[in-house]
C-alpha cells in the first residue's frame, strides 16, 4: 500500500466509523445469522495473488459486518459493557499507525512515562491510597493471574518458578462462589489446581451477596490443620453474575491476620468509584495487596485496558521479571520497564487512549454517565417489579440486577424471544439454582429512552409468550 493509498483508505475508514456510530441505534444489537454462515462465505484457501482494497472492503461490508454483535449499541444490556468512547477510538488510530512495541522504557519512553501518570490519575480518581502504584494490563484476567502467581511464589518462599510445584504441598486460594470464571482459569494456569480453589458461600441474608467471612476463617484454619498451605484470598467487588460484593474490610483483615496475599477483583464496578457517593461498599479496598478494574468496561477506554494497582510492586516484579542482556537498559537509573510487571513481554501503548479519554471528558463527564446508568437501571427495575408475573431476584447493585418470569422454562423462552427480537440484548445467569435474566446499564451511548425501550420490549415480549 502506497502512502497515498494509505491516506485514502484511512480517511474512508474513519468516515465509515463515524457513520457506523451515528446509525448504530438503527441496527439490531445481535446479528441474525446461523452458525457457519460467515465461514462458508470466506474461501477455504489463502489467496496466492493480492487484490485491491475496494474488493476487500466490499467483502467486509457484505460478509463481516452482517455477522457482528454491536457492543457499542446503546441498548446492549448483556454481559458488561466493552465501551469504546469515540475519543478513545481516535487515540487508537494514532497508536495503531505508530505500531510501537512498548515493552521497555527505551523502546518508547513516552509510553512508559504516560502510563505512570495515567495510573496515578486513575488511582486518585477511584480513591485508593497514595502508596499504590499501577500498571496497565490487557485484561482483569491477566491481572488476576499475575496476582495468583504472586500468591504462589510468596507462599513457596519464591521457589515455585525455580523448582516447580512438585512436593511443595497443596496451595490453597480462597474466594466466594460468586467470583468470575477468570479466577478459576488463573488457578489452572498457575498450576495450583481447581481442587485447591476454595469457594465459600455467600451470606444469603446480605443483599450484596458477600462472602461468608466466618466460613473463610474456618476454611483457612481447617487447611492449616490438614497440612495445606494457604496462599491468598480473592475478593469480589461487583461480580459478573449478580454484582456480588464482598465486605472488603472484613475479608482484607482476615488475609492480613493470616499472612495471605490479597487481591480485589473490581473489574466492572471499580469504574463507578470515580463517583464518591457510590463508594460505601468500597471501604477497605485500600487494604488489599492488589486491585484491578477495567477502564475498558464502564469508563469508556477501548478494549484492551485494565488498571492493576499494587500496594508494593516488588513481589510482582520478583515473580515475573526476567532480564536477559537484550532486555537491559544501560546508562539509565530509576526507570520502569512495565514488561516486568506483566505476563506478556510485548506491550501496546494503552496509556494514550486513557490520556485522550480523561482529558476530553474529564471526571465530571464520566461521573455523569455512570450516575445516569445507575439511576436509569434502578428506575427500570422498579417499573418491572410492578408488572404482573415478574420477580426481581437480586436487587440493583450499581446498574446490575436480575429478574425472572415464571419458572425456568418460561424465563428461558422469554430471554430467547427478547434476543430474537433484536431491539435489546440481555444475558442470563443462575441464582440459588434458578435461571434468571441479567440487566445492566453501561453503554457509553445509552440514553434514558433506551431504558424505556428495554422496559417496553421486555413487557411486550413477555405478554406474547
Confidence class of residue 183 from pLDDT cuts 50, 70 and 90? very high
**Cell triple for 391:** 420477580
Give the pLDDT confidence of 431-449 residue by residue, as tens digits. 989 999 999 999 999 999 9
Mean of pLDDT values over 55-82: 93
Q: Specify the pLDDT at position 327.
A: 57
Give the pLDDT confidence of 91-146 residue by residue, as tens digits. 999 999 888 888 888 788 888 999 999 999 999 999 999 999 999 999 999 999 99
User: Among the listed ranges 248-257, 332-341, 425-434, which one has the minimum average pLDDT value?
Assistant: 332-341
What is each CA distance from 66 to 28, 37, 108, in whole angstroms? 10, 11, 38
Residues of the chain with CATH 1.20.1340.10: 3-67
Of 45, 111, 118, nearest to 299 (Cα)?
Answer: 118
304 Ramachandran zone, left/alpha/beta (phi>0; psi -120 to 50): beta
Residues of the chain with CATH 3.40.640.10: 101-348
Mean of pLDDT values over 48-71: 93
Q: Specify the pLDDT at position 150.
A: 96
According to CATH, the topology of domain 362-464 is 3.90.1150
What is each CA distance from 411 to 31, 390, 430, 436, in whole angstroms? 22, 10, 11, 7
Of 253, 271, 274, 270, nearest to 262 (Cα)?
Answer: 253
User: Among the listed ranges 153-167, 328-342, 427-441, which one has the minimum average pLDDT value?
Assistant: 328-342
H or E segment and range at residue 447:
none
Q: Specify the pLDDT at position 387.
A: 94
Q: Specify the pLDDT at position 166.
A: 74
∠ CA(363), CA(364), CA(367), 5° rounding?
85
User: Among the listed ranges 19-28, 125-134, 197-206, 208-217, which one has the minimum average pLDDT value?
Assistant: 197-206
Q: How much of the chain, in percent, has pLDDT values that exceed 90?
A: 80
Q: Specify the pLDDT at position 106.
A: 79
Give the pLDDT confidence of 332-363 residue by residue, as tens digits. 567 888 888 998 888 988 999 999 999 999 99
**Cell triple for 44:** 477455504
Residues of the chain with CATH 3.90.1150.10: 362-464
- Contact criterion met (CB below 8 Å) for 441 and 376: yes
Q: Specify the pLDDT at position 331.
A: 47
**Cell triple for 425:** 440484548
DSSP string, 235-283: EEBS-TTT--B--HHHHHHHHHHHT-EEEEE-TTGGGGGGSGGG-GGGT
Confidence class of residue 330 from pLDDT cuts 50, 70 and 90? very low
Q: Specify the pLDDT at position 141.
A: 92
According to CATH, the topology of domain 3-67 is dopa decarboxylase, N-terminal domain (1.20.1340)
- Confidence check: pLDDT of 329 > 70: no
User: Among the listed ranges 226-230, 336-340, 390-394, 400-404, which one has the minimum average pLDDT value?
Assistant: 336-340
Residue range 101-348 forms a domain whose CATH class is: alpha beta
What is each CA distance from 170 to 192, 196, 260, 261, 319, in whole angstroms? 8, 7, 15, 16, 19
- Confidence check: pLDDT of 32 > 90: no
**Cell triple for 366:** 464520566
Mean of pLDDT values over 200-207: 86
Kindly report the number of other CB atoms within 10 A of residue 49's CB atom.
4
DSSP string, 307-333: EEEES-SHHHHHHH----GGG--TT--
Backbone angles phi and psi of 51, in degrees to 5? -135, 175
- Contact criterion met (CB below 8 Å) for 83 and 72: yes
Amino acid at each position: 500500500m502506497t502512502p497515498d493509498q494509505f491516506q485514502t483508505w484511512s480517511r474512508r475508514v474513519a468516515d465509515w466509523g463515524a457513520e457506523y456510530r451515528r446509525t448504530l441505534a438503527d441496527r439490531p444489537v445481535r446479528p441474525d445469522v446461523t452458525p457457519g454462515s460467515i465461514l462458508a462465505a470466506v474461501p477455504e484457501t489463502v489467496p496466492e495473488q493480492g487484490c485491491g482494497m475496494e474488493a476487500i472492503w466490499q467483502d467486509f461490508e457484505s460478509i463481516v459486518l452482517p455477522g457482528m454483535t454491536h457492543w457499542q449499541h446503546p441498548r446492549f444490556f448483556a454481559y458488561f459493557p466493552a465501551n469504546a468512547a469515540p475519543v478513545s477510538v481516535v487515540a487508537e488510530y494514532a497508536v495503531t499507525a505508530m505500531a510501537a512495541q512498548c515493552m521497555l522504557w527505551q523502546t518508547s519512553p513516552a509510553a512508559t512515562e504516560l502510563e505512570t501518570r495515567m495510573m496515578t490519575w486513575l488511582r486518585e480518581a477511584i480513591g485508593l491510597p497514595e502508596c499504590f502504584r499501577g500498571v496497565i494490563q490487557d485484561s482483569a484476567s491477566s491481572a488476576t493471574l499475575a496476582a495468583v502467581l504472586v500468591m504462589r511464589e510468596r507462599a513457596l518462599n519464591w521457589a515455585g518458578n525455580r523448582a516447580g510445584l512438585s512436593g511443595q504441598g497443596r496451595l490453597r486460594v480462597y474466594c466466594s462462589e460468586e467470583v468470575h470464571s477468570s479466577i478459576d482459569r488463573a488457578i489452572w494456569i498457575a498450576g495450583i489446581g481447581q481442587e485447591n480453589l476454595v469457594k465459600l458461600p455467600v451470606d444469603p441474608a446480605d443483599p450484596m451477596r458477600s462472602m461468608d467471612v466466618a466460613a473463610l476463617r474456618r476454611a483457612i484454619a481447617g487447611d492449616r490443620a490438614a497440612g495445606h498451605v494457604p496462599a491468598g484470598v480473592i475478593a469480589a467487588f461487583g461480580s459478573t453474575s449478580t454484582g456480588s460484593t464482598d465486605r472488603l474490610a472484613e475479608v482484607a483483615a482476615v488475609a492480613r491476620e493470616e499472612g495471605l496475599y490479597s487481591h480485589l477483583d473490581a473489574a466492572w464496578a471499580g469504574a463507578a468509584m470515580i463517583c464518591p457517593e457510590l463508594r460505601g461498599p468500597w471501604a477497605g479496598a485500600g487494604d488489599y495487596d492488589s486491585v484491578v478494574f477495567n477502564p475498558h468496561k464502564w469508563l469508556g477506554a477501548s478494549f484492551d485496558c485494565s488498571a492493576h494497582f499494587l500496594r508494593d510492586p516488588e513481589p510482582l516484579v520478583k515473580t515475573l521479571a526476567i532480564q536477559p542482556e537484550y532486555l537491559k537498559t544501560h546508562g539509565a537509573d530509576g526507570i520502569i520497564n512495565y514488561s516486568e510487571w506483566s505476563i506478556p513481554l510485548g506491550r501496546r501503548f494503552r496509556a494514550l487512549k486513557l490520556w485522550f479519554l480523561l482529558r476530553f471528558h474529564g471526571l465530571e463527564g464520566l461521573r455523569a454517565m455512570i450516575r445516569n446508568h445507575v439511576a436509569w437501571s434502578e428506575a427500570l427495575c422498579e417499573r418491572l417489579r410492578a408488572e404482573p408475573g415478574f420477580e426481581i431476584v437480586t436487587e440493583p447493585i450499581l446498574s446490575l440486577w436480575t429478574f425472572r418470569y415464571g419458572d425456568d422454562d418460561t424465563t428461558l423462552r422469554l430471554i430467547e424471544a427478547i434476543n430474537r427480537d433484536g431491539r435489546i440484548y440481555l444475558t442470563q445467569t443462575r441464582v440459588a439454582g434458578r435461571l434468571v435474566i441479567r440487566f445492566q446499564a453501561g453503554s457509553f451511548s445509552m440514553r434514558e429512552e433506551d431504558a424505556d425501550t428495554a422496559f417496553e420490549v421486555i413487557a411486550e415480549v413477555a405478554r406474547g409468550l
